[in-house]
């Protein structure tokens, strides 16, 4: 029984990023530090997550603007936690913005490129800008692992 529980919990929390990629992450760089001074952290690799606020295609890249959320053990953004702010991704090439649309959750390992100032309402916002090394788009409707373990005898009568 204990073995089954351990196996199930291990599968539910399997990381979405390969160990080689995770090894490139700078664990000392927190999101608040990145937000405070994006340009001074250019070249560093971070793991961030959030939900898409805006997706736009340009001639040579797709830009995603995300609302940052803390990550859970499975690297999924925890949208029930407070957000730390926004960041943007510049993805070379084309991404389908009907797939990568507002509200979708993403986790990303990316290299900090610096800061990009863009309008936000009546003001300007200094976005930390990243180029993704690996992007994970989470399935819609899932908020975490759903494991059900039961022991017993049952039967069903099909009608």
CATH class of 17-137: mainly beta
Instruction: Report percent pLDDT > 70 for the chain.
Output: 80
CB 89 within 8 A of CB 108: yes
pLDDT grade for 18, boundaries at 50, 70 and 90: very high
Query: Is 0.75 surpassed by the pTM of this model?
Result: yes
Predicted local distance difference test score (pLDDT) of residue 14: 65
- Residue ranges per domain, the chain? 17-137
Q: What is the pLDDT of residues 51-71, one digit of tens each?
A: 999 999 999 999 999 999 999
Give the angle 5-11-14 at the CA atoms, nearest 5°. Answer: 140
């Amino acid at each position: 029984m204990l073995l089954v529980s351990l196996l199930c919990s291990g599968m539910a929390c399997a990381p979405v990023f390969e160990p080689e990629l995770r090894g490139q992450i700078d664990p000392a760089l927190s999101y608040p530090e990145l937000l405070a001074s994006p340009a001074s952290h250019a070249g560093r690799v971070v793991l961030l997550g959030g939900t898409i606020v805006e997706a736009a295609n340009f001639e040579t890249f797709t830009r995603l603007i995300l609302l940052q959320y803390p990550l859970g053990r499975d690297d999924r953004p925890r949208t029930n936690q407070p957000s730390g702010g926004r960041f943007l991704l510049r993805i070379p090439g084309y991404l389908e913005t009907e797939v990568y649309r507002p509200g979708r959750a993403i986790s990303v390992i990316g290299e900090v490129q610096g800061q990009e100032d863009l309008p936000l309402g009546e003001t300007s916002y200094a976005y930390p800008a990243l180029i993704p090394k690996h992007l994970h788009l989470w399935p819609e409707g899932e908020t975490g692992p759903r494991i059900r373990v039961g022991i017993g005898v049952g039967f069903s009568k099909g009608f």
